[in-house]
C-alpha cells in the first residue's frame, strides 16, 4: 500500500520521479524502486516522503485515508 500511495501522491502533484528524487536527495533509481515496491522503504525515508507531501505516516502506510498530520 505504501508504494501505491507514494506513486499516487507524486502523480497528484504532477511531479516526475526524477524531480521527487532530486528534492529528497536520492538517486532516481532508488526512488523508482521504492515506488515500484522493488526495494523496502526504510522508516527514515518514509518520514521524509510524508514530510515532503505534507501527509501523515498513517496515510502513507495505508492505515488511514485521512492525510492530516495529527499533533
Sequence-distant (≥ 6) Cβ neighbours of residue 54 within 8 angstroms: 67, 69
Dist. CA 26–CA 32, nearest whole Å: 10
Phi, psi (deg, nearest 5) at residue 39: -130, 135
CATH code, 16: 1.10.260.40
pLDDT tens sequence across 22-46:
999 999 999 999 999 999 999 999 9
Q: Is residue 71 part of a domain?
A: no
| Secondary structure of residue 27 in the 3-state scheme | coil
Query: Is 12 part of a structural domain of the chain?
Result: yes
Which residue range(s) make up the domain with 54?
2-61
Total domains in the chain come to 1
**pLDDT of the residue at 60:** 94
Residue 67 lies in a domain: no
Average pLDDT, the chain: 93
Residue 41 lies in a domain: yes
**pLDDT for residue 66:** 80
The model's pTM: 0.88
Percent of the chain exceeding pLDDT 90 equals 86
Amino acid at each position: 500500500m505504501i508504494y501505491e500511495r507514494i506513486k499516487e501522491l507524486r502523480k497528484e502533484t504532477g511531479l516526475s520521479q526524477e524531480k521527487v528524487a532530486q528534492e529528497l536527495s536520492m538517486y532516481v533509481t532508488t526512488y523508482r524502486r521504492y515506488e515500484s515496491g522493488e526495494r523496502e522503504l526504510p522508516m527514515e525515508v518514509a518520514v521524509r516522503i510524508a514530510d515532503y507531501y505534507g501527509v501523515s505516516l498513517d496515510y502513507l502506510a495505508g492505515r488511514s485515508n485521512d492525510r492530516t498530520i495529527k499533533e
